[in-house]
Amino acid sequence: MNTHFIKTLDDVKTLLSQEACLEPGWDSKDECYQWIEQTLSHFKYRSLGREGKGLIRRYLTVASGYSTAQVTRLINQYTNKGIVKRHHSSSNGFRTRYTKADIRLLAHTDRLHSDLSGPAIKKICERAFQQGDGRYERLATISISHLYNLRQSKTYERTRGNKNSTRSTQRAIGVRRRPDPQGRPGYIRVDTVHQGDKDGVKGLYHINAVDEVTQYEVVCTVEKISERYLVPVLEGLLAGFPFRLLEFHSDNGSEFINHQVAALLNKLNIALSKSRSRHSNDNALVESKNGSVIRKLLGHAHIPQHHAEQFNEFDKKYMNPLLSG
C-alpha cells in the first residue's frame, strides 16, 4: 500500500473507498509505528473534529493491519505523550516462518487449481519447488494443517477475493401452512410422544394422529423414531382411519419431515404440511390429545424400547377401538 500521496482527508476517503483491495505491506513493526506517528502529526489529530478523527482512525486500522483496539491504544499514546513508541518484549517470542508473499503465492496457486484440497495443493507446491521454482521453497515443506491456517488469514482473503463455493441445494419438504379442512374429514394432525428416559436410556415412542373434524384418533408405538422403525408402522397408522386421508400435518421434526415419509404420502396421494414459524397453535389439537389421552392412559413413566411391538399390538386391539368407540 502506497500512502505517500495521501495528504488530505479527501485523499483518505478516496483510499478507503477501495478498502477491500487494500493490504498492509510494512516490513517491520518499527516502520509501521513510525508511519502512524507521522500520519497523526500530519493530520493534526488532536485538533480534528469527531468525523475527522473517526476517518483517520479507520485509515490507520486499514493501512496498518492492526485491530481497532490496538490502533486506539497507539492513538492514546500519541495524544498523551506526543509520540508512538513500540514497547519491546523481553521474550524472544515466535518467529514468523511464512511471509505474506508465501500467502499470496498460495492464494494464486489455489485460484489456478480451483481450490483443491490441502493435501493436493501441498503436493503441487512440492512438485513446483522440485522442478526449480524457488518461490515455493517454504510452501513445499508446509504442513497440511498450517496450510489451512494460512487460508484463513486476511492476506489470503484479500488476494483470493470471492470464491465460488459449493452451494447446497435446498429442497423443501412439505408446505408451511395451517390445515383448512372446511368441514371435511381427512385432515389429520400428527405428533410424537416420548415415553420417558431412565439412566440416560430412551424409552419407546407413541405416534398420535387425530382428524381435525371428526376427532377420530389412531395411536401406534415404535421403538425409535428413525425412518427404519417409523415408516412401516406409519403405513398401518394411516390405514387405521376409516375415511380417505387428504392431508398429513406435523410440526417441523425430522421424524416426519424427511424424504421417506414424503415418498410414502406421495404414493398415497396425501398432502404433507408442517407448522409455520411462530404459530404454536398450528399443531395444538394433537398436542392437547397427547396429554388428555396418551399421558392419561399410559402415564409419564419410562417404558423400555424393546416393549414397542407389544404396545403396538395393544394399540391395535384395545386403545384404538376405545378411542374410536
**Cell digits for 306?**
424393546
CATH code at 175-324: 3.30.420.10
- Show me where the domains of the chain are located: 9-81, 100-160, 175-324
Check if the beta carbon of residue 303 is closer than 8 Å to that of residue 204. Answer: yes
Q: Could you please report the per-residue DSSP string of 13-63?
A: HHHHTTGGG-----S-HHHHHHHHHHHHHHTTGGG--HHHHHHHHHHHHHH
Angle at the Cα of 46 from the Cα atoms of 45 and 49, rounded to 5 degrees: 80
Q: Is pLDDT above 70 for 162?
A: no
Q: Is pLDDT above 80 for 247?
A: yes
**pLDDT-based confidence at residue 211 (cuts at 50, 70, 90):** very high
Q: What proportion of the chain, given as a percentage, has pLDDT over 90?
A: 44
pTM, two decimal places = 0.50
202-207 own/partner pairs: CB under 8 Å, 24+ apart: 202/305, 203/302, 203/303, 203/304, 203/305, 204/303, 204/304, 204/305, 204/307, 204/308, 204/311, 205/308, 206/294, 206/298, 206/311, 206/315, 207/233, 207/234, 207/237
pLDDT of 278 reads: 85
Check if the beta carbon of residue 84 is closer than 8 Å to that of residue 31. Answer: no
Range name among 1-5, 44-48, 114-118, 256-260 with the lowest pLDDT average: 1-5
Q: Where are the beta strands (DSSP E) in the chain?
A: 175-176, 187-194, 197-198, 201-202, 205-211, 217-222, 247-250, 271-274
**pLDDT-based confidence at residue 31 (cuts at 50, 70, 90):** confident
pLDDT tens for 91-145 read: 665 677 888 888 889 999 998 988 889 999 999 999 999 999 999 999 999 999 9
Between 172 and 166, the higher pLDDT residue: 172
Q: Is pLDDT above 60 for 205?
A: yes
Mean pLDDT rounded to a whole number for the chain: 87
Alpha-carbon span 219 to 200, nearest angstrom = 26
pLDDT of 171 reads: 61
CA neighbor of 82 nearest in space, from 32, 28, 29, 36: 36
pLDDT tens for 269-293 read: 999 999 998 888 889 999 999 999 9
